[in-house]
Structure 1
């Protein structure tokens, strides 16, 4: 009798998942309840603490405002500070009454007194006394030195005439308000009534509140402790607030043992939900187990119908019997596949290589029929056309065999899937366009495809369809697999013996991808038939381009464009183009290094990561136009740095030459910024910038000052006419000269000559 141990194993196999589910539910329930309770408790605690803070600030602010309002509106305060209110006067009694009223009207106020600087006396609600005998005189001395007008830290106050002390916080204001120097008004707030007020706003049985002043002294709870006061160590801190006005810190939290008392109610709900989930899970597990066991039961019935071998036991459980039957089936299948397909991939690949190399052509037909590499097998009695397409992949790194070739069976993981995807896409794409495709890896980054089709179109139309198929493949592979590739299409042939010719023409087409490629597809018909052009013929073009670059002539861009145009016209091979680019880069680097003054500024363009990136981008360019753009962008960047460095080194010398030229030709009426720009081959705007930078004045102001200085000397030292002097300093007529002279010097040329000819005049050699 067969034991149903498989049923029990299948049933118990669900229990780890069941236990994990229950554990997660319980954990999540407590986690959620704890988080909710903590957030809500923290929010309530933060609101309560904020209310206490606002209440304390408002109470102290009200006391401060009432006292200051009384001091500002009561004229007796000013009279006392001026010395008018003396001991025994009615005004003094009234002022004492005002201080007592301020104390009586505010529960928080401990005392208020006034210090008069004039005679160092203090007025309290008890009367007038000398400051030196006043018990709070140390605080007065500190207040006179301090500019801090905030509430002080907690301090001890000793009542005059007694030895008892009380804790107070104090604020002082200079009188008369707001910043007078005749005295001080001191307000003392008792800490005890402040503690009583705060205690009425808190519930110490649930939460605690600790208030410290700026110096760290405890304001609440009382230092000696109260009956219901709770300290920070008695609970968990949830809120920490700072009072910007008082400088106090408010720390509050929930009293230990009280935080989660109400959570039990919510926990019961989660327990009920958890039990319901467990019951449903048990029912579902039993149902799934019974349903999953039915196929096993049917399978066992079929296995038991097979004739048993001698020596086999029939009382084994289901698992053993199924495993035994599967092992026998797998063993037989493996033996059969090994006999039928031992070397089929290797033989098929070898046949493909023989076709591409043109070897073993006498047995090609037989081997082709035997291996059937094409999807429809071998065709007979039909005129066929063949073509070879070579696909070269870029930015792809797959493992390769020891001989440099590729084999699908050697790939693993992502590499194998990508390789199979590429071959599968190529063959399916060929079938879409009516071709039978056979693809194999030829090298590390190259796939060759042998295409076959019945002759039903003209050869020209077939070539167009091949290009369309190649273009579709490029776009699909780039869009779906992110693979960049170049395709070379060989010529069409009608016999397998000539497949090697189509393969060679496809390989040749890949060598002209940069100049002939249209969307990365090159056909054998586009390959030039003329002899190769010697590369040394491009050296003059390269030398002329670098020479213009070094001379800072804008013609180098035109010459660079001509260089690329010549390579495109001559249809150079890709390798030859890269060689020309290497010559161009090396010559540019050598020329720039010879420029000692600017070589340091240009070093990063020829050494380091930026130089390597530039060379890599040029070498991996997809077309000649892209290569031209990359070279132009990089050389433009180098050119701008080169010109900027050159101008920085030589602009001071240029400014000096300009200054000397102006001093020698200031008599020329046509001297202007345009004249200087033509003379020194710089723009007028740049010439103006140089003058502004070097002399801190505009060119016009520099020239006018120079001309006026010479005109003043000629007016003082010669008897020439004003008209003659005007022409000698660069003005066409005396009217313009006189207007400019008066604007700069302050008087007309004639008056200036008269003033300068009078020896006794004090203006001689002065401002004029």
Structure 2
């Protein structure tokens, strides 16, 4: 193809090229400088607006989270309520809420509560008097103000003596809502982290930015340069919510500023040269430019002249680059849209299952339809799929492999549901838990049930992914607003995983209303097993087996089982420390680590209890071997059995034992202590108190009768000894520990 049109263009412009070239060089530099300044000012305004919006959003999020915690925390209400009974665990419960709030918002430096009636401050570390609190001045000033205080300026905070001072911005809210006369809730936000967005958004070589609160300067991009900048600011933004002002502009001398000193004469000369050439250029160019004139007009509808100069020196380059830019922007937009959609889907999923949906059923259906999930779905069923033995799973696989396996589990759940004609929405709510929401419309109720889909999933994963899963399924709900209730039931079903076993589907409706077992009776049985261990009881193995069989046969919640195991390990630890010697060394070296490892790594009692039984039996053999080496075990056992048979004898003493077994009282006392790790008097007292507790709970006998039955001639001596050993009087023990229900304690229900 001949380039005739190209050559005509070249020859047409030759007469004016030499005329304009010199003028345009200088004029162009001036224009470029002005254009650059305008574009920089425009970008500076956008950056300032973004910084202000970001600051408002972050601080409003924190303030909203604090208000939600103040309005929804029963522990916080109890902390400020003067009528609340004293509870030593109350500060811990309130502190847990504060820790959760600080963990959800990384910008929070610290949170503390000031209670006005007794002048105490509850921090993330605990309670302390306000008089010795490091931030007392701010608390006192906030308490004197009427109403809630706005966000403060940047101030130095030192909560403890010797602690380095931290720059924070503080918010003081009166508690409790709505009147706020009980105290102050103070939230301190890290100033450096809050204003980091400003450092990211500006080019310190070209522009500056300041954030002010009245006359006070909260942030400045000038590093070590005191005083106001010499250049006039180009942008001033004021936040009504925060009372702050963002001031920004171009630094003096930036952006070819020296060219602005050129004489405007060059502009006049350039203008004259251009106007003189317009007639000639218009005549020559008109015939050549007509074919692309319409295209340029269409493009310039969406792009400014400055943007045209940025893209190139001729129209064809401009058109080509605009097309390239539009295609790149379209591709980037589609990619960003897909990423944002995944994040948005997870946020909506968590909101739907939170139990606090603020939308109606119709609004939820519309939102899910926009997200491309379950169009027309009304009925929903929630489930939770949990990875069994997650500690081993985490240790075995790298983070990348774990993510791949979790992705495979999610896809498998969706595929199995699709085969049954069901729609599944699945998101990982925790590292080891997959939240699953089955969505159905009226026509899909004849398809498979969620339990069948999950049963296929938990059967498929061990074979193909070498992964064991346990699923909890809640009951179905007729509309999406109650999806949170179904999700709570699914979690409740999983709480009995240790008793019911892993690698299966646990349905809430199978145990609806069935109470979970009570753990309180097991504490006494554990104490009895530990005591029999120390006394080298011959029936110890049978007693341990009965206790383990009872645990395995009862329906207990997972957290209750872990409490019992921790209590058992603690009781054994204390006994081993009292015994000392080789038995304590074996406990520290072998037994205790094995017990704790099993409790941490194994998910079900079926796996866990055999490990505990084997470990405890080996510990018992070690203890018996140690006592046999002393050679006096037989005599000590006879003395112990005599005490157990005759504990109700008020005359039982070392003298009586000395006469009975023909040994000295001092020798008998030392023998008993060596063999069983406790003094004769302490053992007798403990034995009598255990029988007294049983009589108080299982009979209606009076206190004098019980004192006679356990070897005390005077009920006053019995009461004094009982309170010293147990911690409460016999009457209070009977009152508070007497079982109210047919099982001994009130059961805990799934519902």
Asked if these proteins are the same fold (TM beyond 0.5), I'd say no
**Normalised TM-score (structure 2):** 0.38
**Which one has more relative contact order, counting CA pairs under 8 Å at least 6 apart?**
2
